[in-house]
Amino acid sequence: MKKIRLLKPNEIDVRVQMIKSNYISVLLYKDARVDMKILDETFGPMNWQRTHNVVNNNLFCTVSVYDEDKKQWISKQDVGIPSYTQAEKGEASDSFKRACTNIGIGRELYSAPSIFITPMQGEVTQNKGKFQTRSKFYVKEIEYNNECEIAYLTIVDGQGNQRYSYGRKAQGKQTVANKNNTNNPNKNQLDQHRVEIAQLLKVKHIQSETFVNWLKQEYGVERLEGLNAEQAEAVKNIVASW
């Protein structure tokens, strides 16, 4: 089976998920055109196919690719969700994108951190009690570790201003510390949770003393280093809900 490459910066969409007065939450996506492009270049335009069928009123897409080694078709299937604007077209596109993710296209986006962008002056406005923004954001740089997880990420706005950064850009050879982290997925996950918690505390303007007191009361520790990966994930979700 041919190896599917990782996504490039210009193949990743940055979509606004939530807007508050003091932060803008965004998510990373790929679109159907990227899926088709990577299917073409990996397997060849005539060596993949898609079909759609309805199951219990839900539209499913099956994407099949031809495995030259096994001399057979390999198929992956997933269901779609209708869009608010074009329900049928949106559902077909969504099911296709999900099926392509099952094949392996863009699966690395699942490792993306929680991304919170601090608004500039006047960037977030309020209309009838609802926060909104006209700003668009783009991935400028992205790097992956040996586990195909996002290790470095920068996001800019339409004027090219850097608005978000995650991780460290690789400098030449990988250091011993980086190698150890790569070989220890739990430590990678724990470090990522710590970074995300720090970002949440900043955008939500939660005082360090308040957080430390809560952490000590709930977990009996005064520093995030005292938590395991599972505990850190739980703390991140709780802080996100504050």
Domains of the chain: residue spans and CATH: 31-105 (3.30.390.80), 184-242 (no CATH)
Q: Is the pLDDT of residue 100 over 60?
A: yes
The mean per-residue pLDDT over the stretch 106-125 comes to 94
CB atoms within 10 A of CB 172: 5
Q: What is the DSSP annotation of 67-124?
A: ETTTTEEEEEEEE----SS-HHHHHHHHHHHHHHHHHTTTGGGGGPPPEEEPPPTTTS
Residues in the chain: 242
Per residue in 126-143, pLDDT (tens digit) is: 988 899 999 999 999 999
pLDDT at 237: 78
Q: Is the pLDDT of residue 14 over 50?
A: yes
User: How do strand 137-144 and strand 150-157 relate by DSSP bridges?
Assistant: antiparallel
Residues with Cβ within 8 Å of residue 152, at least 6 apart in sequence: 141, 142, 143, 166, 167, 168, 169, 170
CB atoms within 10 A of CB 230: 12
Per residue in 195-238, pLDDT (tens digit) is: 888 888 888 888 888 888 888 777 777 777 777 777 787 788 78
CB atoms within 10 A of CB 224: 21
Per residue in 78-90, pLDDT (tens digit) is: 998 876 555 566 8
- Sole residue written with tokens 């500039």: 120
pLDDT at 157: 92
The burial of 195, by beta-carbon neighbours within 10 Å (0-12 exposed, 13-18 middle, 19 or more buried), is given as middle
Q: Is the pLDDT of residue 182 over 50?
A: no
pLDDT at 97: 96
pLDDT at 176: 37
- Sole residue written with tokens 């699966």: 107
State the pTM of this model: 0.70
Q: Is residue 120 within 8 Å of residue 134, measured between CB atoms?
A: no
The mean per-residue pLDDT over the stretch 185-198 comes to 72
